[in-house]
Amino acid sequence: MAFAGNHHNLQTLESYKLCVRCNKCCKKHNEISYSYKEIIHNCSEDILLIKRKGSNSLWRPVAPLPDFPRPFKYVVCWYFTEESGCTQHGRKCTYARSSEEAALWNVMKDENLIIPKLVKMIKQNQRTLQSKSQEKRGQFDCTLCQVHIPNVEDLMNHCFTVKHRRLIFEDTSQTWKYRDPPPTYKDQKLCERSLLCEYGDNCTKAHSQEELREWQKRIKASRKRARDVDEMGLLSYQDSLLDEYRHSNDKKMIVSDTLPDVFITCDP
């Protein structure tokens, strides 16, 4: 992970693995022990996890640096237990809960890092490592479907398969109560005849405020998943264009039958 810091801090970071997760994709075993699973969902990325490289131990959570005090060096709390937390100061304890958290806190203090900035660095580093690994092997990985793709053309075709697209656009992390949102997201409205609507389930308008709110939540989650997958280079051109079209205020700027001063002719 690249940053303008001293050599000792760089060595410290290179000794650990870092990742960001949320309550949906990670499991809390006790106060400072987590594991995670790879799922496609609207990840809030609000849990920073750390573990030492080569270790079989579970991941440790990292909290933001305490506002006060700021010691010369952070150390692990003497009174902390994994089952009960700090038995002396409880939630007010400003000591680290694990050696991993203490190590990262010291780097964050020295480098003036906050967790959002660190998360951004982690993502950039993961993309760089993945890209270098793919170039070295001469193949590409679809981390969603857990398959290897031999070349760019096959990767593009794979990204438009039903299985791949289902992992992106079908949120299996929770059960929805109402109908699927309409294809044209910008036209979300309440139906004026919701109780007597002749279109029934085929109506493209919401039949209640609750359904409308769920649609808005699902659309927001879908966009977040699509953006995350797009950053990974695993969103097909067709889906990228469709997502842009759905959310554009001026759809003619995305797709149009004609363009000014552009004429197409076909020779017989």
Q: Which domain holds residue 20?
A: 7-130
Among 12-26, 40-54, 223-237, 239-253, the minimum mean pLDDT is found in: 239-253
Q: Is 97 left (phi over 0), alpha (psi -120 to 50) or beta?
A: alpha
Single residue among 92, 109, 130 that ends a domain in this structure:
130
Structure tokens at 158: 């794979």
On whether residue 258 sits in a domain, the answer given is no
Shared-domain flag, residues 62 and 117? yes
For the entire predicted model, the pTM comes to 0.52
Shared-domain flag, residues 120 and 145? no
CB 110, CB 4: distance < 8 Å: no
CB 96, CB 129: distance < 8 Å: no
Mean pLDDT of 100-112: 90
DSSP state of 158: H
Single residue among 130, 148, 164 that ends a domain in this structure:
130
On whether residue 1 sits in a domain, the answer given is no
Render pLDDT for 81-91 as a digit per residue (tens, 0 to 9): 888 889 999 88
Render pLDDT for 186-208 as a digit per residue (tens, 0 to 9): 667 888 887 888 888 888 889 99
Residue type, 16: Y
Shared-domain flag, residues 71 and 148? no
CB 208, CB 188: distance < 8 Å: no
User: How many distinct structural domains can be found in the chain?
Assistant: 2
Render pLDDT for 14-43 as a digit per residue (tens, 0 to 9): 888 888 888 888 888 888 999 987 766 667
On whether residue 98 sits in a domain, the answer given is yes
Percent of the chain having pLDDT more than 90?
16
Distances (CA, A) of 144 to 158, 161, 163, 165, 225: 11, 12, 10, 10, 12
Single residue among 130, 151, 166 that ends a domain in this structure:
130
